[in-house]
Amino acid sequence: MADAPDKPKPASGMKDAGKEDAKQKDAKPAPRPLTAIAVAAPLAAWLVPGGGHFLLGRWGRGLLLMVSVTSMFVLGILMEGKVYTANTGDILDMLGFAGDLGAGALYLITRAMEWGRGSIQLASADYGTKYIVVAGLLNVICAVDAYHIAVGEKP
């Protein structure tokens, strides 16, 4: 019986290099220091859609986000969508409130003007409610994006 050919064994240096690569993949990056811009950008982005990107000098992206979020929110109001208020009732109402609150100043202005308070009477009003909630959720994503740009995690 012939011996099976032995597989070449890696040199000891190669074995150590593989372990170092695995350690580098498992290693977590050092936490970045919290700066004023890292706090101000997401707050501005939440309060005014696109505001955080304007603050960071991303004019094109900021304008696109401002137009997108604001137009979705305004279209929802024009369709007579419901604007949720804080309550402890139905779980879906609480989630709707969280989504609406994400729109920042748009939500605060709408509540102050008492728009979106009536009951849904038109079929389009249900779509309007969804537009308002989605605009708020999109604005939250924009605020997170502004934070990642501010701390240098995203170019």
The length of the chain, given as a count of residues? 155
Enter the pTM of the model.
0.77
In a domain, 125, yes or no: yes
In a domain, 116, yes or no: yes
Per-residue confidence (pLDDT) for residue 59, from 0 to 100:
97
In a domain, 73, yes or no: yes
Q: What is the distance between the alpha carbons of residues 62 and 143, in angstroms, rounded to a whole number?
A: 11
In a domain, 11, yes or no: no
* Boundaries of domain holding 112: 35-150
- Mean pLDDT of all residues belonging to the chain: 86
How many domains in the chain?
Answer: 1
Per-residue confidence (pLDDT) for residue 71, from 0 to 100:
98
SS3 3: coil
In a domain, 105, yes or no: yes
pLDDT at 6 over 80: no
Q: What is the distance between the alpha carbons of residues 140 and 107, in angstroms, rounded to a whole number?
A: 13
In a domain, 22, yes or no: no
Q: Compute CA 74 distance to the chain's CA centroid, rounded to the nearest angstrom.
A: 20
